[in-house]
Structure formats: C-alpha cells, structure tokens
Amino acid sequence: MNELELVLVGDSYAAPPAHILEGLDDSLVHNKPAGAPHSIYEELWHLAFWQQLSLDWFGGIETPVPTSAADGFPNVLDMEREYWPKLVERFLLGARQAAALAADESGRDKSIRCPTLPGRPVRTMSIRDQLESLGAHNAYHLGRIVLLRQLLGVWPPKSGGYTW
C-alpha cells in the first residue's frame, strides 16, 4: 500500500479511520461536549459529504460546492435519516474507493475538474492532488473526532489508537 492509500484508510499519520470510528453508538456520537462546535456524528457526516464530492469529481460529475459552511454539515433531518452505523459504512466505503484511486498508478495524474464557490473558475487538478487534499481534510476532521472521543472519555478504541 502506498502512502496516499495509507493516509486514506491506513495508519499513516494516526490510527486507521475504521479504528477511530469503532465502538461508538448512535447515542454517544450525538453528544457535544461543552464548547465543541460539532458532535462526532456531525464531523463524520461532514467528512462523508466532502469525500463524496471528491468521488463525484473523480467520476467526471461536477457536483457543486456548497455556498456556505453550514451546508456541508447535517441538519436535524439528515441526522434522523441516517443512523450512525450506516454513516460509518458510507464513509468507510468512500474512503476505500478513494484509496483504490490512489493505488492506481496510471490514473493518478489524470486531470479532473473540481468546482469551487459560485463566481470562481472551476479548478483543474490531478486526481493525485485532489486525493492529497481529501486526505488532509479527512485527517483534520478525524483528529477532531479523536479529540471529541477523548473529551467524552471513550478513547482509545479496543483496536488501539495513539494516546500521546
């Protein structure tokens, strides 16, 4: 597995995403510690949302970027429609799809179009560049999930995770 694949699904920079998300139930993931802007659920939904945009772009679908930050997080109806286990499954499936693209040496340098905010030109970048951006975004929010787990007293998971 190359480093870009590891960033997306492995233990490159921290515990693998599957470990970070394990052992949580639907009630716990909706808790929001004092001062936290989002719950674990909201953080993961946001990750799955943006990851799907990247997957769309990789597939040639120019899904537009939301016009506000709030549009990239779930509303109450979104949270009622998708229980935690399904959200985890959706996110991990998307991460595996992205990792498969990272494994494809011949396709990583292909150019794709990545829409941006209204009024700005569409960006063109390589699949590799967008995968690196996705990996950085995922790492940031998975780190927030680890912090929320620590604040809720449910870190590390049984499979292990870094505790420093």
Domains within the chain, CATH numbers bracketed: 3-151 (1.20.120.450)
Mean pLDDT for the stretch of residues 5-19:
94
Mean pLDDT for the stretch of residues 73-83:
96
Query: Looking at residue 3, what is its pLDDT?
Result: 95
Query: Looking at residue 18, what is its pLDDT?
Result: 97
pLDDT tens digits along 25-34 = 988 999 999 9
Average pLDDT over the chain, rounded to whole?
95
Distances (CA, A) of 20 to 25, 96, 101, 149, 156: 13, 15, 22, 9, 8
| CB contact set of 146 (below 8 Å; sequence gap of 6+) | 14, 15, 20, 155, 161
